Amino acid sequence: MAQTLVQKIIQSHLVEGDPTPGREIALTIDQTLTQDATGTLAALEFEALGLERVRTEVSVSYVDHNLVQSDFKNPDDHRFLRTFAARYGLWYSPPGNGICHQLHLLNFARPGATLLGSDSHTPHCGGLGMLAMGAGGLDVAAAMAGQPFSLACPRVLGVHLTGHLSDWVGAKDVILELLRRLTVKGGLGRVIEYFGPGVATLSVHQRAAICNMGAELGATASLFPSDQTTAEFLKAQGRSEAYQPLQADPGCTYHEVQEIDLGSLQPLVACPSSPDKVRPAAELADVALEQVIVGSCGGGSYEDLTRVALALDGQTMAPGLSLSINPGSRQALGQVTETGALAKLIAAGARIHQSGCLGCIGMSQAPATGAASLRTFPRNFPGRSGTPDDQVYLAGAEVAAASALAGHIADPRTLGAMPAIPAPPALRPEALVPPPDDPAGIEVLRGPNIAPFPELDPLPEDLRVKIILKVGDNITTDHIMPAGSKILPLRSNVPAISRYVFAALDPGFADQAQAQAPVAVVGGENYGQGSSREHAALAPRYLGVRVKVAKSFARIHRANLINFGIIPLVLADPDDYQWLQAGQEIQLKRVLTAISNGKSSIIAIVNGRDLPLVLDVTSRDRDILCAGGRLNHIKRKI
């Protein structure tokens, strides 16, 4: 039977389950990645399992998020991760070396393999023909321990590409067009597979940038075939041995198909404050800008930086505008230095920053009050930049270059002929540290900000929880557990970071939750979209949240809730959302027995009224919920 590329990789890594869409499967994981904002907790979780060494082909600990060293917290975490990596057999990438997704694509990704990362943009490596998925840190810690990764078998959404991109239209415009069509919920339960003659016209970095923002569609993963372009990329990186040709079988059937003629696309922009609020750049000339930032995992490659440099060559940016350059990797920074492109950026007035995530997660680079900022980043959720009333627009490097010159959002097609990008120099200056052959005697160094992993109690037979917060649709993990330079350094200290749960929506949430625990939160559609940050589940659980009721849940957040013993219940009738209010009490009688016996229909009692709820989980999820969380569950197994 003819198979899609996704089906081939799933079949070759299948440990258990029926690979029919919607049914649970378990896959062997070849590689893992963590970054410092999620990696410290993942490291603590791995240590709690009591193993001596990671059990994967490759595991890498990257430092790319918490780069601002304004006090001891971040450098302490970096030292902890460096010594943890040496002790347990991981590669280590130090601060300033680059963003995990760019670096993994350059140095470790290989066609046909599986990658699990504690960052939602891990699908970036799908640009190299890899099944790369984001997950919570606990799932990644389990994969590092050799445990398979369980998920609902996804549907395969095929995107048929024809034609080739016009001048000044880039990879970001491809994924923004899909977001315009499908919205931030359009990829839920799906892996997006790109195919067709248009694939051959895209570079590996362009493919990776498209896969990267598949996370904004809610997709499990995105990937491209592995072809001659892939082979040439790996050869340039000195990794030809990693190449293998991979593509879907002729005549295979996709569950759904989207058609995109690359030549018909125009420069696009996502408007505040959601990646799917997409409009043509040509319609936004009235948006004056004070800030443009080029960088991030999906916008800081050698190609991106060079394109901006060539567009700005001999010119200066608009008066009153700040242009920042965040290289995606040390390699990209070295390459643009070698070619002279960096000098062009400096001459144009750009500010050159270290290779890292920086403003994408609110780690510096916040815009001024009321100012509009255009960024080549993947997300523009409200307040994510660090400025509460931010107006963040998302676009590709082409729009960013034209806009930096104009001082407002500009269509780059007005710039004239697009300069050709020279081949990148053969330069690989990364500072990756391999694991030592013998870790004996290596001490894992911990600073005072690294707190022990909290103990989580098993699920009781009966639950009586009070609703202390009701929120609307598309609540993101940034709403639940904010990022930013103030909060991110607390990622390895659950008691401290829990004080910021829902802080932007209800500043008194933490005190109220602890005082009235156990408690519940009610949400609308797509609850928990966005980042993979498991702190958005663990910190609420630490405060006493045991139940979340919503119209629907985003994939990774739902998995994280289960991993930390919070019951994710879906309203059987979405209209019941209207009468649920903060202050009401939800009674769940014999809930432990119901969950352990496999019941999917759960009847709660709210103010004397029966409330039908649905628990759509696997038997494995049920065991985890009953144990009070996955760490408890894994400990029992190991």
Give catalytic residue positions. 64-65, 119, 379, 531, 533
Specify the pairing of strand 391-394 against strand 463-470.
Answer: unpaired
Rounded CA separation 249/623 (Å):
38
Element (H, E) at 36: helix 36-48
Residue 520 near residue 468, CB atoms below 8 Å: yes
- Per DSSP, the residues of 496-547 read HHGGGTTTTT-TTHHHHHHHH-SEEEE--TTBTBS---THHHHHHHHHTEEE
Residue 324 near residue 365, CB atoms below 8 Å: yes
Tell me the CA distances in angstroms from 307 to 175, 294, 299, 302, 422, one per residue in order: 19, 11, 11, 8, 10
Q: Determine the length of the chain.
A: 638
Residue 39 near residue 61, CB atoms below 8 Å: yes
Rounded CA separation 421/303 (Å):
7
CA atoms 143, 147, 152, 155: torsion sign = positive
- Per DSSP, the residues of 87-120 read HHT-EEE-TTBB-HHHHHHHHT--TT-EEEESST
Torsion angle, alpha carbons of 78, 79, 85, 88, to 10: -140
Strands (E), 101-255: 114-117, 131-134, 149-152, 155-162, 190-195, 221-223
Strands (E), 519-615: 519-522, 545-550, 567-571, 585-588, 601-606, 609-614
Rounded CA separation 122/145 (Å):
19
| Residue 192 φ/ψ, nearest 5 degrees | -100, 120
Rounded CA separation 497/318 (Å):
40
The tokens describing 344, both together, are 């062009």
| Residue 67 φ/ψ, nearest 5 degrees | -95, -20
The tokens describing 431, both together, are 């500072």
The tokens describing 136, both together, are 């919570």
How many whole angstroms from its chain centre is CA 317?
A: 31
Rounded CA separation 259/196 (Å):
10
Q: How far apart are the first and last CA of the chain?
A: 38
Strands (E), 332-411: 351-352, 372-375, 391-394
Element (H, E) at 624: helix 619-627
Burial class (CB in 10 A: 0-12, 13-18, 19+), 22: exposed
Q: Which residue has the tokens 């609110």?
A: 362
| Residue 177 φ/ψ, nearest 5 degrees | -65, -40
Task: Provide the 3-class DSSP secondary structure of residue 39.
Answer: helix
